[in-house]
Amino acid sequence: MDGIELFLLGRALMKLGEEALPEPPGGAGQYAGGTRSVVIVAGDIAAHPDTTIGETAQRTGLPQSQVSNAVARLREAGSVETAPDPADRRRTLVRQAPGVSARVAAVRAAGASKVEEALARALGEDGSERLPEVTEALEVLARHLAVRGDRPAG
């Protein structure tokens, strides 16, 4: 596998992940910006607590306006908290909220079955016998590479 193949695989996995997420309250079209940017921003905030919107934009490569919209959605959902930066009151610090928001609980409740449904659709009619192998491979990758909550990758 080369870098291009890895990049394209990552995009395909992102699309499957989006498909496996339950629709947000009010429908997907309710907010400016997509689910993808919100998930990317949430992951960055989890990995970098007490960060600013500008720092998140720089790390993720997303425009600052898109990060601001994502933070507003996450704050509304109860997933993050914001506070003025004590060192520079013009800046706002963002961190994960303690506890589990209703949105995160809904995503978790949808669980592995939604992921398996998305994978099964991607594998096609003749892919049902490959589903356990693909699921196991993804679990191995997640165990070694993914950031979950406050656990760093690796």
Do the domain assignments include residue 153?
no
Do the domain assignments include residue 56?
yes
Distance CA 142, CA 136 (A): 10
Range of the domain at 140: 3-145
Do the domain assignments include residue 113?
yes
Per-residue pLDDT of the chain (154 residues; tens, 9 = 90+): 999 999 999 999 988 988 888 776 665 554 445 778 888 999 999 999 999 999 999 999 999 999 999 999 999 988 999 999 998 888 899 999 998 777 777 777 777 788 889 999 999 988 889 999 999 999 999 899 875 544 444 4
What's the CATH number where 61 sits?
1.10.10.10
Do the domain assignments include residue 38?
yes
Structural domain count, the chain: 1
